[in-house]
Amino acid sequence: MHITASKLYNYIQCPHRVWRDIYGPQEEKIKETNPFVQLLWDRGVQHEETVVGKLGEFTDLSKIDFKDRFEPTIKAMEEGKELIYQGMLKHDDLVGIPDLLKKLPDGNYIPIDIKAGKGYEGVSEDDEGKPKKHYAAQLCFYVELLKQTGFAKENKGLIIDIEENEVKYNLDKRIGPKTPRSWWEYYEELKEEVKEM
């Protein structure tokens, strides 16, 4: 059983969902997508298409079948491609498809996720806000995969948000003044909880 970014997201939203999706009564699953959820998905897809349409030159791996995408992703990074769209990363039981992989000046890569929401939560005129849990967890997941394949050293990622801003996530940063653990430590705990399920 693979752990994916979407399983981490689902666990954050509802800890029982991951277990129920695998072991729960399959006949109880809703077969049709809620129209509001479908609208949100469509909005996300449209936003991603808009962002990707403005990228300029990039290596597009999205047309390669999922099961065959890992080797071309590794090859693209070995060749030093500047921007890789929909590459696939895997290590042990972890499998993920970050929206983008961007080459850094030192030759390593940073994951970028395109989101149809604000990059931070709680943004106001007086406060820049803080990282969103599910965004941070997904970026940690992709960074771990990059590190395991030898293409990252730092725990950092980027979100391209609904306003097309690049929002930096330092995943070693503490979650907040009252929370002593970092986003990375939060992710490690989350991953272990999902594995136990």
Strand partners, 178: none
CB environment 29-54: b (16+ within 10 A), e (fewer)? eeeeeeeeeeeeeeeeeebbeebbee
Closest to 7 measured CA to CA, from 110, 137, 182: 137
- Determine the Cα–Cα distance for residues 165 and 159; give it in Å rounded to an integer: 8
- Cβ neighbors of 185 (< 8 A, separation 6 or more) are none
The domains found in the chain, sorted by start residue, are 5-196 (3.90.320)
Q: Which amino acid is at 126?
A: D
Q: Phi/psi zone of residue 180: left (φ > 0), alpha (ψ -120 to 50 degrees), beta? A: alpha
Strand partners, 120: 131
Residue 129: other Cβ atoms inside 10 A: 13
Global pTM reads 0.89
Tens of pLDDT along the chain (197 residues)? 689 998 898 889 888 777 777 677 666 666 676 676 666 666 767 878 888 888 889 999 999 998 999 999 999 999 999 999 999 999 999 999 999 999 999 999 999 999 988 998 876 666 677 899 999 999 999 999 999 999 999 999 999 999 999 999 999 999 988 888 999 999 999 999 998 87
State phi, psi for 109 to the nearest 5 degrees: -125, 155
Q: Are strands 59-60 and 83-85 parallel, antiparallel or unpaired?
A: parallel
